[in-house]
Structure 1
Amino acid sequence: MSLIVQKFGGSSVANADRLRNVADIITKTYSQNNDVVVVVSAQGDTTDDLIAKAKEVNPRPSKREMDMLLTAGEQMSASLLAMTIEQMGFPVVSLLGWQAGFLTDTSYGSARIKRVTPDRIKKELDKRNIVIVTGFQGINRYNDMTTLGRGGSDTSAVAIAAVMHADLCQIYTDVEGVYTADPRKIKNAKKIDVISYDEMLELATLGAQVLNNRSVEMAKKYNIELEVLSSYNRVPGTIVKEATKMEKMLISGIAKDDGVARVAIIGVPDRPGLAFKVFSKLSAKNVNVDIILQSIGRNGTKDISFTVSEDHLQATMEVLTPYVEQIGASSVVYDEDVAKVSIVGAGMETHPGVAALMFEALFESNINIQMISTSEIKISVLIERKDADKAVAAIHNKFFPEVVDQ
């Protein structure tokens, strides 16, 4: 008997027909003599609808009350799915995150899991129940409901798989696996059979939406093998696991993130320590900085440019606007009309000329590069937002010409 953890996203459980489809997948797995724990997200656009309802009554609600509201979405999904499975004649129970043993820190809206104590899950499995758990949520030391942030249901599923030493963790979504680019926009995108944790983590962090980056980090830490597959088409998906020694593709995928902004501090005095002070201020406000570019300098000053997520732009400007005068800089400006396009692949380490191919693709499409960032397995460029989709298509055609329609 194996223990299988299955996670289903919001689109997979969006309505009664899809709930019945998901229930069929779960019960077939159960009928093969497996223990099954299922993690679900809120149905369809439920979370967005709840956020809209909150803004109708309070434009700036507290994060605690937002967590109280948003956890209702997953509770609806879990109970409705359990009812569907009940109707099919199978034993099932639904549990809230706190009932499943999720204890988090006190960061409402983006809580981190401190520990999972799955005693209740184990008791229900011992009764041969299918266990449905609400993803995305837990409880903190004050007994308040908390949410794990965007993509938190993935993290919930991997956490359960880790603490219960599951044999497999399956992440069901609306695509058939991990692709070299978004298959909904690049019709010739190629599905990847196997991808390493490191490559998947980079893709997730750089904008690929198929998996949450925190879930990949956790899977790597606890060596949990993931399978990303479609809840609609019953075909093999993509396995995410530790790197293999097999010959690898030059790149594994291309990601786009149009939720970024470029910030520039103009005329920073050319003195040691000022860059440290600037980024320390941002770090203290939990602002993550990505691509950084510093000019050579002129007239004893330098310009420092960097990118942040759009969600952090307001906090960034609130920190820097009063601070630029203190350090003697001229001004701080920002640009939201940008996007980050990245290529990822462990094969880049042993193949020279990858960057040249990427830049050639952008040149041939007349796309200007504003900033560049590189590591051993990724190259990111900042470009105008309007060019993002064109850039992804051009780069994909450059690296995967064999799948281009003739």
Structure 2
Amino acid sequence: MLVVQKYGGTSVETTEKILKIAEKIAQDYDRGDKIVVVVSAMGKTTNYLINLLDQVNPNANSREYDMIASTGEQISIALMASALSRYGKKSVSLTGFQAGIDTDSTYSRAALKRVYRGKLMSLIDDGIIPVVAGFQGISPSGDITTLGRGGSDTTAVAVAYGIGADLCEIYTDVDGVYAADPRYVDKPKKIDKISYDEMIEMAAHGAKVLHLRSVELARRYHVKLVVKHAHMKSEGTIIEEVGRLEEPLVRSLTVDEGIVKIVIEDVPDIPGIAAKTFKQLSDRHVSLDMIVQSMHRDGKNDIAFTVSKEEFKDALEAVNHVKEEIKAGNIHSDDTMAKISIVGVNIIGSSEIVYNMFDAIASIGVNIDMISTSNSRISCVIKREKLREVAKVVSKRFGLEE
């Protein structure tokens, strides 16, 4: 098969681990697979690099952020290609630019435009294992861009689609996708197969196994994904299109501690105000999650929404910028919140599931601050200090533990 194998930062955090993975890749190659490797930066290298930049200038522009943040992967690819050579395999390291990965011009959250297959397929046909830097590409103006934290998953899926790979394997420090995060729930069930849609909901609402954009890309272009443990044998979890189920079913629970709630008070209740507000957020490429508008007296509303901690600064700048224009009141933020979600099939169509979600939370006296739903998800924002208690009671209610 033609396979893309992606290895995350914890999988390549030491030279010993790199050598071990290189040995595995060499064995897979000897069994007949044609392989392209995508790697992340070693361990917490990217955090270290960003911290260096912050020490020099906490307000450094996004271009320089991408310039320094992208260098961690270049260390990994050189080490991995050299390790493969040690095991007798011809290998070459490639930056995003060298691999033919084009993006738009948005720094730190660039969107992929295309992957040119010519360079990679030429190397593969010559019996060479390309090792590609994840998380990065090149803009139309020739600048290095990055895809956002966790973007190496997206690189791997894009490369898999670009070269027409049979499979994209995501290797990490867990042996698959679980029904809940083991940090919050004791002995959660492992999921053997899950649909793109379910995995997208999980990734969007706190599951850290896969980068959200990578699953969205895989669904759009029908790239078959498998999540496996980097250093132990396992069947992992397959993510692919599955037959539609009619029976409501809760498959997993996710948690997200990395959110901030922003409230804009006393927004005039007239057409176009919300559009003006969210246009500012759109211009800054801020991703929104929950949005709630509360009706008050005298033609005034409160608008509340949640954003990630990483995008909070941009979001706050956006709403402060538009505050006077829309003649709004005070702006408040709260970083003491967390989100818990259940994900599955036809969830919102089942009043029993809806009741059990809210009843489980109420049973331990926890208040719900915000609620958001889709056909396959119910999300609740609660106080972060209550998250572990709520995760345990909800997972127990829906039988997500072994």
Q: Deviations over 1:48-97 (max 9, x none)?
A: 11111222222222222222222221111111111111111222222111
**Which residues of 2 match residues 44-193 of structure 1 at below 5 A?**
44-193=43-192
101 and 264 in structure 1: CA distance in 2 versus 1, 3 angstrom threshold: same
Contact 1:270 1:297 in 2 (8 A): no
Moved more, 172-181 or 244-253: 244-253
Provide the rounded CA distance (Å) in 2 between the counterparts of 1:346 and 1:57. 49
Q: Quote how far apart the aligned CAs of 1:322 are.
A: 5.3
Provide the rounded CA distance (Å) in 2 between the counterparts of 1:144 and 1:276. 32
Q: Quote how far apart the aligned CAs of 1:316 are.
A: 2.7
203 and 151 in structure 1: CA distance in 2 versus 1, 3 angstrom threshold: same
Amino acid aligned to 2:19: R
145 and 345 in structure 1: CA distance in 2 versus 1, 3 angstrom threshold: same
**What's the % identity of the aligned pairs?**
43
Provide the rounded CA distance (Å) in 2 between the counterparts of 1:249 and 1:24. 44
Q: Quote how far apart the aligned CAs of 1:268 are.
A: 2.5
SS at match of 1:186: coil
Structure 2: give runs of 5+ residues left out of the alignment.
none
Provide the rounded CA distance (Å) in 1 between the counterparts of 2:240 and 2:183. 25
Provide the rounded CA distance (Å) in 2 between the counterparts of 1:43 and 1:3. 25
Amino acid aligned to 1:212: H
371 and 70 in structure 1: CA distance in 2 versus 1, 3 angstrom threshold: same
Amino acid aligned to 1:5: V
What's the counterpart of residue 234 of structure 2?
A: 235
Q: Deviations over 1:333-387 (max 9, x none)?
A: 1111111111111242664311211111111222110110111001111111111
SS at match of 2:375: coil
**Which residues of 2 match residues 373-392 of structure 1 at below 5 A?**
373-392=372-391
Amino acid aligned to 2:258: G
SS at match of 1:235: coil
Contact 1:260 1:309 in 2 (8 A): yes
Q: TM-score, normalised by structure 1?
A: 0.94
Provide the rounded CA distance (Å) in 2 between the counterparts of 1:68 and 1:326. 36
Q: Deviations over 1:197-224 (max 9, x none)?
A: 0110111111111000111111001101
Amino acid aligned to 1:358: M
What's the counterpart of residue 284 of structure 1?
A: 283
Corresponding position: 1:199 with 2:203: no
Provide the rounded CA distance (Å) in 2 between the counterparts of 1:78 and 1:277. 44
Amino acid aligned to 1:270: D
331 and 103 in structure 1: CA distance in 2 versus 1, 3 angstrom threshold: same
Contact 2:185 2:401 in 1 (8 A): no
Pairwise CA RMSD: 1.8
Contact 1:100 1:119 in 2 (8 A): no
Q: Quote how far apart the aligned CAs of 1:325 are.
A: 4.2
Structure 1: give runs of 5+ residues left out of the alignment.
none
Aligned pairs, how many? 402
Moved more, 261-270 or 97-106: 261-270
